[in-house]
Amino acid sequence: MYLDGVDQSDAFAQCVAQSGYSYLAATNNEKPPISADDMQAQVDANNQWAECVREHGFPDVADTSVPPDAGQYVWYPRVALPLSMIAKIYEQ
């Protein structure tokens, strides 16, 4: 992951590892809707990752939260990267 021309891949990977995030576990939609426990676990992992990213110099990355109608969801909440970060990635 490059930001401002600097390779931030190691910091990104460290944040993912520290959060315990698993893409395969997070995207397993075989039994919709997502249980309340699974939804909360995803939000917790999201927020651990977002906190790590903020600590590594990206203060605009916001936490996620459990949606009010979480029992209806078949998709897990995801951390939204600010447009300013995304634009910098595409400037490379």
Our CA dihedral for 40, 33, 71, 36, rounded to 10 degrees, sits at -30
- What distance in Å separates the CA atoms of residue 76 and residue 90, rounded to the nearest whole number? 26
When pLDDT is cut at 50, 70 and 90, the band that residue 89 belongs to is: low
In total, how many domains does the chain have? 1
Domain ranges, residue 42: 2-90
- What distance in Å separates the CA atoms of residue 29 and residue 31, rounded to the nearest whole number? 6
Over residues 40-83, the pLDDT tens digits come to 999 999 999 999 989 988 898 999 998 877 666 667 788 988 87
CB-CB contact of 49 with 80 (8 Å): no
